[in-house]
Amino acid sequence: MMILVTQKKIMSSEGDQQSQPLTKPSFSEVQASALVESVFGLKVSKIQPLPSYDDQNFHVCIARTKVATDGPNEYVLKISNTESSKTPDLIEVQTHIIMFLRAAGFPTASVCRTKGDNITSLVSVDSGSEVKSYLVRLLTYLPGRPIAEIPIGPQLLYEIGRLAAKLDKTLEKFHHPKLSSLHRENFIWNLKSVPLLEKYLFALGQNRNREIVEQVIQLFKDEVMTSLSHFRE
């Protein structure tokens, strides 16, 4: 498999995520290490896969050299799937939001720029039968534990709610010329798209929670969908 790296600033382009099934990246650790070195100019000492949904993530440890002794030692390499890679505006806005929040004091990752001083790079992979393109980014690694792994109590829930409110108020001040790329119709991860979950109820089978899920979806239709136009978005 040949990897062709194209260093360029990502410009506006069109992409219909509903038109074709996405292809999740399947880079090996060796290939991912080569990406980090060729695109970002960093020498990898250790790399391992991280959980992901439809993209591909790697936890990357960097080898320090006599020339480069400063900066973080750990990063996350994010390789977007083929369909998301066709909508660079969306990924550009997401990345600028991360940068904006960090500047505002939130404990978010830092964005590592490419050797060409861009925030993303488009990588073309020739598998022999076809060429696929993937957008890659490198962010600093944030150590910690997922909330699902620690006991939940009132104080923690309060802190989560407080952080969410602060995040919401801060993002009211965020502006970007391509912000409209975030508005995607029928995007299942959008909270106002709850009714779309009905077509996945079969996955619950006869699970005792199915009735609760059905009730929540119906309540959302009755009490939220009818008032959506009155809510701030």
What does the pLDDT look like over 177-187, one tens digit per residue?
Answer: 999 998 888 88
Phi, psi of 4 (to 5 degrees): -110, 120
Give the model's pLDDT for residue 61.
96
Neighbours of 28 (CB within 10 A): 11
Is 80 exceeded by the pLDDT of residue 22? no
Listed ranges 12-26, 62-76, 175-189; the one with the highest mean pLDDT:
175-189
Check pLDDT > 90 for residue 89.
Answer: yes
Look-up of token digits 């083929």: 82
Predicted pLDDT at 172: 93
pTM: 0.78
- % the chain with pLDDT above 70: 88
Q: Which pLDDT tens digit goes with each residue over 121-177?
A: 999 988 778 889 999 999 999 998 888 899 999 999 999 999 999 999 999 999 999
Residue 128 identity: G
Kindly report each contact of residues 98-106 with a partner whose C-beta sits within 8 Å and lies 24 or more positions away, as own/partner: 98/139, 100/171, 100/174, 101/167, 101/170, 101/171, 104/170, 106/167, 106/170
User: To the nearest whole percent, how much of the chain has pLDDT over 90?
Assistant: 66
Q: What pLDDT is attached to residue 68?
A: 55
pLDDT at residue 4 tops 70: no
The answer on pLDDT for 203 being more than 50 is: yes
Q: How far is 38 from 5, CA to CA, in rounded Å?
A: 8
Asked whether the predicted pLDDT for residue 20 surpasses 70, the reply is no
- Please measure the distance between the N-terminal and C-terminal CA atoms of the chain and give it in whole angstroms: 44
Q: What separation in angstroms does the CA of 202 have from each of 10, 137, 186?
A: 40, 36, 19
Determine the pLDDT at residue 69: 60
